[in-house]
Amino acid sequence: MKDVNVGICGLGTVGGGTFNVLTRNASLITGRTGFNLRIARVATRTPRNDIDLGDIPFSTDIFDVVNDPSVDVVVELIGGYETARELVLAAIRNGKHVVTANKALIAVHGNEIFEAAAKQNVIVSYEAGVAGGIPVIKAVREGMAANRVDWIAGIINGTGNYILTEMRAGREFAEVLKEAQDLGYAEADPTFDVEGIDAAHKLTILASAGFGVPLQFEKAYTEGISEITPYDIAHAEILGYRIKHLGIARRRDEGIELRVHPTLVPRSHLIAQVDGVLNAVLVDGDAVGQTMYYGPGAGDEATASAVIADIIDAARSVAAKSNQRVPYLGFEPAAMEDLPVLPMEDVQSAYYLRIQALDRPGVLAKVASILSEHGINIESIMQKESELKDGRIPVIILTHTVQERQINRAIEELEALSDIDEKVVRIRAENFN
C-alpha cells in the first residue's frame, strides 16, 4: 500500500487539529482511500508541548518542509500574506501539491498562485479557507458543476454572527464585542471580523468559484456592523426580518455584485435561523435552485476536516500518478470570464430606512414625495407615535428593490429637509427570491 507523505507548516489551532485528526483517524482514512497518509515532516515557529510528534522530523523553519524531497503534499497553515505566499510558491516550484486554509492568501494572491500551479501541473486546494468545516467549495466546484450559479449569499464570519445574535436581546455592540473577545471568538483587534474584511476574502473566493471570474478582492465592498443598534434589530423583527452580516455575490448581465454588509433577511428564511458562531452559505443555481450549506465556520478539528479532505484529493493524484484535477476555481482557464465588479451605486437591493423626523404636519408627505421622485416604492411604513420625544418621532420605512444610486440621492434630499433631524439610517434588505 502506497504512502503519501504530508508536510505540515504551522501547528497552531488548525495545524494542531489537522495533526490530531490525521493521527487519530489514520486507519479510517486508509480504508477510504487505499493509501497511507503519512505525516513526514512538521514545521512551526512555536513548538507545542501538548502535541506528541513522536519520531516525526520537526523544524522551526517552515521552508524545511517545502525543501524536503520526500514530501508530496505541503499543508500551509501559518496564515498571513507574504511569508505564506513565498512558502506556497516555493512548494509549487518544487513540484509539490499544496493545501491551505488561508483565505487572505487566496483572495489576494490566488490568481498568481494558480497560474504558477498550472505551469507545474500541481494541485492547490483551499476548502478550509472559506467556511471552516463546511465543504462549500467542493459543493460549488463539483456538486453544482452542471449549474449556472446566479447568486451566492452567506454568513461567513462567526464573530459577527455571534455579536448580532446576542444583540437581539437588547445588548449594545460594544458589550457583546467585549464578551466575544473574552470567549476567544474575536481577536484583540477585531477589525477584520466586524468590518467585513474577513468575509470579503471568503466571498471573493466563492464568487470566483461560482461565476468563473478572476479573484478581485480589492473591488469588494465592505461595511461593518459596529453601527448596528438594538433598536434597529428590534424593529427589523417587527417588520418580519432579522439582521445578518452577509456576503453577497450576484451575477448580472453587466457584471457581478460583490458586497459585504449588514442585511435584513426574512425571519422565516433558513439563513435567518443561523445563530451564534455558526456559518451558512446559500447558493442559487439555475437547475437545482437554492441550496444551503450550514455548520461550524471555524474551530480546530472542524476546519481540519476540510483541510484533510483537500489533502486526500491531492494524495489521490499522487497515489494514482494522475495529472487530472478539478480546476482551481471550478472553470478551465479558457472558460474564465473577465466580468467587472459593479460599483455599489449599480447594486440592486431593498432598503430599511430609519428617519428621525420633527413632529410637524406634512412631514410624511414630504418623505413619500422624495422617495417617489426617485422611483422608490414603499413596501411598509411605521411612525412610532409612542416614541415621540423632544418633538421628534422615528419613522421606519421598508422599500421595494431599487438601485443604490436612487436611494443615495433620496437620502441626500431627505437629510437636507429642515424637518429631518440626524442622519438617515440605511440597512439593505434581501428576500432571496
Q: Is 422 left (phi over 0), alpha (psi -120 to 50) or beta?
A: left
Q: Does domain 3-133+300-335 have CATH number 3.40.50.720?
A: yes
How is residue 346 annotated by DSSP? G
User: Does the annotation place 14 within a ligand binding site?
Assistant: yes
Helix (H, G, I), strand (E, B) or coil at 303: helix
User: Does the annotation place 11 within a ligand binding site?
Assistant: yes
User: Does the annotation place 9 within a ligand binding site?
Assistant: yes
Q: What is the second-level CATH architecture of the domain 348-429?
A: 2-Layer Sandwich (3.30)
Q: Note whether 100 and 129 are within 8 A (CB).
A: yes
Instruction: Work out whether strand 348-358 and strand 402-403 pair parallel, antiparallel, or are unpaired.
Output: antiparallel
Per-residue pLDDT of the chain (433 residues; tens, 9 = 90+): 689 999 999 999 999 999 999 999 999 999 999 999 999 999 999 889 899 999 999 999 999 999 999 999 999 999 999 999 999 999 999 999 999 999 999 999 999 999 999 999 999 999 999 999 999 999 999 999 999 999 999 999 999 999 999 999 999 999 999 999 999 999 899 999 999 999 999 999 999 999 999 999 999 999 999 999 999 999 999 999 999 999 999 999 999 999 999 999 999 999 999 999 999 999 999 999 999 999 999 999 999 999 999 999 999 988 888 777 888 999 998 999 989 999 999 999 999 999 999 988 899 999 999 999 999 999 999 988 778 787 889 999 999 999 999 999 999 999 999 999 889 999 999 998 7
The Cα–Cα gap between 17 and 433 comes to 39
Given this model, what pLDDT does residue 148 score?
A: 97
Domain ranges of the chain: 3-133+300-335, 142-295, 348-429
Q: Note whether 393 and 383 are within 8 A (CB).
A: yes
Active site residues per annotation: 202
User: Does the annotation place 244 within a ligand binding site?
Assistant: no
Residue type, 231: Y
Given this model, what pLDDT does residue 128 score?
A: 97
Which long-range CB contacts under 8 A does 77-83 form with residues at least 24 apart? 77/8, 77/9, 77/10, 77/11, 77/12, 77/14, 77/15, 77/18, 77/101, 77/102, 77/307, 78/9, 78/10, 78/12, 78/45, 78/102, 79/10, 79/12, 79/104, 80/104, 80/105, 81/105, 81/108, 81/109
Given this model, what pLDDT does residue 37 score?
A: 95
CATH code of domain 142-295: 3.30.360.10
Q: Note whether 110 and 205 are within 8 A (CB).
A: yes
User: Does the annotation place 16 within a ligand binding site?
Assistant: yes
Q: Note whether 421 and 357 are within 8 A (CB).
A: yes
